[in-house]
Amino acid sequence: MSTFSVIGTPIGNLEDVTLRALKVLAESDLILCEDTRMTKRLLDRHSISVPTKSYHMHSTISRIEEIIGLLKEGKNISLVSDAGTPGISDPGSELVRHIREDMKEEISLGTLKIEAIPGPSALTAALSIAGIACADFTFLGFLPHKKGRETLFKEIAISDRAMVFYESPHRIIKTLQSLVEHLQGDASIKKITVCRELTKIFEEVVVGSPTEVKAYFDIHADKVRGEFVVIVS
Ligand code: SAM
């Protein structure tokens, strides 16, 4: 019997980890990490000493085959990303898909279990404090840099649903500018919520019309850093 555990880990504050996540990590034969050095901080903080190996967006098929081989030997393997939930704009889904396809028989015989150990995600953290009616929302992950970008802004402008996406400090100003341009006629009804550095020292939530939020970050250039979740509602 082997288990492949997909584990949510903190998005900033190292105390945001569930008891179950720590237990499963500590009992794993191997922990797959997006960046082993990054995960080591979490493991050290909780005195967990388990072998780690990297699994990231550039991992090759031979790494996937190696992981499947270990699961077939009965090893218990955990997967974490640098922050939050693997598979949510992070590596993981491809690996899980391969395991599901290549180990169908073991899964149906009950000798392999793929389990979720739920934990933090910037997506749910942002929605939980935005205070918007978002029973119905669309998550866009990261916006495309070129192809499809304009079309997406047009979709955001006409959508009745809350639209949520991740953004980097390098692109947040450009993105806010695009929102100002595309939502211009709509500025009175569309609200932007920018959640920055969630669970960290400089956590903040900026709410307003596209123009107001853009102006805030233009004035406070020192706040154009860190990690961002943007909600258009
Ligand atoms: N898998 C992660 C999750 O479940 O949230 C997301 C990983 S994605 C590669 C990284 C992006 O998530 C960042 O660029 C940022 O947009 C968002 N993010 C991660 N941590 C965050 C935080 N503490 N505050 C705000 N946004 C964050």
- Round to whole Å and give the CA distance between 197 and 73: 41
Number of domains making up the chain: 2
Segment 126-155, tens digit of pLDDT = 999 999 876 789 999 999 999 899 999 999
Residue 188 confidence (pLDDT) above 60: no
Ligand 1 pocket check for 200: Cβ under 6 Å: yes
* Cα(172) to centroid(ligand 1), Å: 13
Q: For the residues 172-183, what does the mean pLDDT come to?
A: 96
3-state secondary structure string across 26-68: HHCCEEEECCHHHHHHHHHHCCCCCCEEECCCCCCHHHHHHHH
pLDDT value, residue 185: 73
Contact 59, 53 (CB under 8 A): no
Residues 102 and 60 in one domain: yes
Residue 186's pLDDT band (cuts 50, 70, 90): low
Ligand 1 pocket check for 83: Cβ under 6 Å: yes
Segment 45-85, tens digit of pLDDT = 999 999 999 999 999 999 999 999 999 999 999 999 999 99
Q: What are the b/e assignments for 19-39, b being 16+ CB within 10 Å?
A: eebbebbeebbbbbbbebeeb
Q: For the residues 177-201, what does the mean pLDDT come to?
A: 89
Residues 76 and 140 in one domain: no
Ligand 1 atom closest to the Cα of residue 195 is: 25
- Mark which of 100, 117, 134 sits at the end of a domain: 117
pLDDT value, residue 135: 75
Segment 15-37, tens digit of pLDDT = 999 999 999 999 999 999 999 99
Mean pLDDT of the chain: 95
Host domain of residue 153 = 122-232
* Cα(34) to centroid(ligand 1), Å: 14
Residue 92 confidence (pLDDT) above 60: yes
Q: Compute how many other C-beta atoms are within 10 angstroms of the C-beta atom of residue 116.
A: 13
More confident: 104 or 133: 104
- Mark which of 84, 117, 150 sits at the end of a domain: 117
DSSP 82: S
Residues 55 and 133 in one domain: no
Residues of the chain with pLDDT > 70, as a percent, come to 98
Residues 10 and 107 in one domain: yes
Ligand 1 pocket check for 204: Cβ under 6 Å: no
Ligand 1 pocket check for 179: Cβ under 6 Å: no
Ligand 1 atom closest to the Cα of residue 81 is: 1
Ligand 1 pocket check for 12: Cβ under 6 Å: yes
* Cα(110) to centroid(ligand 1), Å: 34
Ligand 1 atom closest to the Cα of residue 124 is: 5
Q: Give the predicted TM-score (pTM) of the model.
A: 0.95
Ligand 1 pocket check for 127: Cβ under 6 Å: no
Ligand 1 pocket check for 55: Cβ under 6 Å: no
Residue 184's pLDDT band (cuts 50, 70, 90): confident
The domain that holds 154 is classified in CATH as 3.30.950.10
